[in-house]
Structure 1
Amino acid sequence: MSHDPWLTIVGIGEDGWEGLSQAARSAVLEADMVIGGKRHLAMIPRHENTQSWPSPIKSYLDRVLSRKGKSTCVLASGDPMFYGVGARLARLVPRNEIRIFTHLSAYALICAAMGWSEPDSVLVTACGRPVEQLNAALFDGTRIVFYSADETTPGKAVALLRKRGFGNSKITLFENVG
């Protein structure tokens, strides 16, 4: 039984196809199936067999796993191993059956855009988690990068900030970062 990697996870940024290494491009082009978000699928050359992620992604992971042995490429935002689908799949697929091509994380890109040091900032994600996780990071002077789950999350986060006495906080919104 072969243990060659059947699953390839490719992190893709807003620079799209042009930002991928030649090895990552080859992995996308040579895959029997490419799975990703609609936004990511639109960034690659036309592929005859693509599927877009449903929401929530969690409901689709078993389908990805059922493709074991068939060349499958999963596209993910930025660094797929940093709070991404890559980390979830890597817990389910043996290491010798998976290849990972990473890209810059949205966290790294946001910190750079804000002029913040990554180690001196805090990342909180509401993707698949309650917005109340933000509470643990709320201290005067904390620099927080907050990942939103959907279009309702920023409003919930602002309401929580106001409730906790942080209503005058400066908020910068980024979208489609990585």
Structure 2
Amino acid sequence: MTEKMKVIGIGDDGKQSLLPVYEKWIYESDLLVGGERQLSFFKDFTGEKKVIKGGLSSLVSDLKRENRKIVVLASGDPLFYGIGSYLAKKLDVEVYPYLSSLQQAFARMNESWQDADITSLHGRSIKGLVQKINGKEKIALLTDEENKALLRLLAIYVPLEFQNIRHLLLKTLVGNKSAVLFTV
């Protein structure tokens, strides 16, 4: 590959979340890689598109063989519980983040987040979660559709059981209709 691959974070509002130079790089690329939702923002892209499905190791193997201009799209900040960390360890990439879902959620609550205990349950088990958050004052949990119902129950249970928690933020990472915000 002659040029570093670019990993660009994008928001739920699609192209509107991109700096003009990022959009320029996307349209100048030969191969646009991303999830179905991210790729759907670029229906007018004329190069090849590759949807990320399944294991990332096969994606990395494929990308290592490429010598074209490649842009990988990721949600929010690709280095914050995202594909960017994995790709940066395996490939020669440049990462250009957008706002993370947590940055946006905490901003909506007018709350700082540098002191939050952050845990991602996206694709992970909820087992041991209550023990992990016990004693924390500010908690942010990221999840997927699979754990969303369990976290709704947790939002009811935590304030009753752990009076020391000041703020609990629950955020489901599935687009516009995903925010579950709760402040104790």
Q: Considering the TM-score relative to the shorter chain, is it more than 0.5? A: yes
Partners of 2:119 and 2:139 lie apart in 1 by 7
- Matched residue count: 168
Flag as ranges the 4+ runs of structure 1 deviating above 3 A.
156-159, 167-175
CA RMSD of aligned residues (A): 2.9
Partner letter of residue 143 of structure 2? S
- State which of 76, 79, 92 in structure 2 corresponds to 1:78: 76
How has the CA–CA distance of structure 1 residues 121 and 171 changed in structure 2, closer, same or farther, with 3 Å as cutoff? closer
TM-score scaled by length of structure 2: 0.75
Higher strand fraction: Structure 1 or Structure 2?
A: 2
1:38-61 CA distances to partner (integer Å, 9 max, x unpaired)?
11112225223112221x353543
Partners of 1:136 and 1:68 lie apart in 2 by 45
Query: Do the aligned partners of 2:140 and 2:170 also contact (CA within 8 Å) in 1?
Result: no
SS in 2 for 1:118: coil
1:120-171 CA distances to partner (integer Å, 9 max, x unpaired)?
222110124322363354235633221113x221223456x49xx6374877
SS in 2 for 1:132: coil
How has the CA–CA distance of structure 1 residues 84 and 128 changed in structure 2, closer, same or farther, with 3 Å as cutoff? same
**Structure 1 counterpart of 2:17:** 19
Given the alignment of the two structures, is residue 143 of structure 1 paired with residue 141 of structure 2, yes or no? Answer: no
- Gaps spanning 5+ residues in structure 2: where? 162-167, 179-184
- Gaps spanning 5+ residues in structure 1: where? none
Given the alignment of the two structures, is residue 32 of structure 1 paired with residue 24 of structure 2, yes or no? Answer: no
Query: Do the aligned partners of 2:141 and 2:171 also contact (CA within 8 Å) in 1?
Result: no
